[in-house]
Structure 1
Amino acid sequence: MRRLKRDPMERAFQRGYQHGVQGKSRDSCPFNTPSARQNWMNGWREGRADHWAGYTGISGVHRLNEMHAVG
């Protein structure tokens, strides 16, 4: 069965979240289009908040999966 590609906006959010939870700077955003950049920044903010709350490493990955399973 052929797999469909993931939504690029969801992917931008996930990549931003991963950068945020790792404590990386928001200046490392790789996207140029406004909508993808906004989704990346939203993910980065969520990840940064989780980083400050102590969700690092595997717990951050589990948190990301929980957020997308609900939403």
Structure 2
Amino acid sequence: MKRQKRNPNDRAFHKGYVAAIEGRNHDSCPHENGMLHQEWVNGWRQGRQDYWSGFGPAAQAQRIVNM
């Protein structure tokens, strides 16, 4: 079975979320500008919000899988 490529916007959001959970800075975004940059930042913000809200590692992993 062929493997379907992931949507680049979803991938950027996921990478931003993971970066925030790992404690990386907002400035570590690999995209200069455009839609992928915005999706990465949105993911980063969501990850930071979850981190500050007290989501534990299990809840964070659950959210990452559901993305």
TM-score by length of 2: 0.86
**CA distance in structure 1 between the partners assigned to 2:18 and 2:56 by the alignment:** 10
**CA distance in structure 1 between the partners assigned to 2:24 and 2:58 by the alignment:** 17
Alignment correspondent of 1:34: 34
RMSD value over aligned CA atoms? 1.4
Give the number of the structure with larger relative contact order, counting CA–CA contacts within 8 Å between residues 6 or more apart: 2
Q: Say if 2:41 is the partner of 1:48.
A: no
Offset from partner CA, 1:6-45 (integer Å, 9 cap, x none): 0011000000000112221100001124100000000000
Tell me the number of residue pairs that the alignment of Structure 1 and Structure 2 aligns: 67
Q: How far did 1:59 drift?
A: 2.3
8 Å Cα contact 1:22/1:56 also seen in 2? no
Question: 5+ unaligned residues in a row in structure 2: which ranges?
Answer: none
Question: 5+ unaligned residues in a row in structure 1: which ranges?
Answer: none
AA aligned to 2:10 is: E
Q: Secondary structure at the match of 2:62?
A: helix
Q: How far did 1:55 drift?
A: 2.0
